Chains A and B, each alone.
Chain A
Amino acid sequence: MPKILNIVETAYRATIEEQDDTVLWLTHMLKNAGADICVLLRANAVNYAVRGQDASGLSFGENRMTHSPEIDKDVATMIEKGVAVYLVDEDAVERGLSEGELLNGIRKIKRRELPELLDQHEQVWHW
């Protein structure tokens, strides 16, 4: 099975009504279907690796959202299932993210290491 790298770079795009990030969700589904897949978070998507994201509490008139997205838990579950989740270190630093704020198991890489990461995967899908 060829190795697949999913690159996620746009965070919080319709995540409330989707209850997920649609590319992280797709990654879960592809993993469940047998794909050898991992994820790279870059640009504002590095925020997906932050512990404690809370999207609860929205309502529209009487319609109260009862099941909000829990993206940090989705990322943690992915790591538990054996999906490597990489994060571009400089993108996180530029956004003021400290080591202590990030989920356990996130693999940091430097921007200059991106080409090598791409070389290690037969398919690179940039979302």
Chain B
Amino acid sequence: MASEKTLTIAIMDAPYESANSTSALRIINAALEKGHNVNVFAYEGAVNLTMKAQQPHPNPVKGTSVEQEQHPTTKDWVASLFKLASTKDVKLDWVNCGLCVDERGAGDWIEGPRRGGPKDFLDASMASDATLVIPTK
């Protein structure tokens, strides 16, 4: 059952560069599981989290194949979060900052996110019960 509470979270880190990305997705996952609505503002490198072209790969150090390694992609994790939101009947609104997308060529993303900008973040924050900014270093 939806909690009627909404969290807005701003993230900046590109995938595979910082522990912040995993922590952010853990927080979003936990929030959706608890029935909260979540707004995400993906700024700068974080727009790369949802790129459709991400591919898993084998691991030559461990000698594993693609199938064995089951290498995660952040776009699959985010897709799962959208599915979780749907299952829980809560809203996950994921905004990729448009200009950040343009300069990175990150415009081909999975189903779910939408293009937006700083005003979306401000509006979401003002309408939320809590706002968390996870900065990059």
Contact = CB atoms under 8 A, between A and B. Distances in A.
B60 interface: no
Contact of B118 (A2, A26, A123, A126): A26
A127 B12 CA distance: 9
Interface stretch (B32-40, B51-59, B65-73, B129-137): B129-137
Contact of A29 (B10, B44, B119, B136): B119
A30 B122 contact: yes
Contact of B131 (A10, A13, A35, A125): A125
Contacts of A30: 118-119, 121-122
B107 interface: no
Contacts of A1: 126
B13 to A, nearest CB: 12
Nearest to B131: A123
Interface residues of B, number: 18
Contacts of B136: 13
A22 interface: yes
A126 B121 CA distance: 15
A2 B44 CA distance: 25
Contacts of A34: 122
A33 B133 contact: no
B44 to A, nearest CB: 6
Nearest to A2: B126
Contacts of A13: 136
Interface string B1-28: 0000000001010000000000000000
A10 B10 CA distance: 17
Contacts of A35: 122
Contacts of A18: 103
Interface in A1-15: 1-2, 10, 13
Interface of B: 10, 12, 43-44, 103, 117-119, 121-123, 125-126, 131, 133, 135-137
Interface of A: 1-2, 10, 13, 17-18, 22, 26, 29-30, 33-35, 123, 125-127
The 4 closest A-B pairs by CB, nearest first: A29-B118, A125-B133, A33-B119, A127-B135
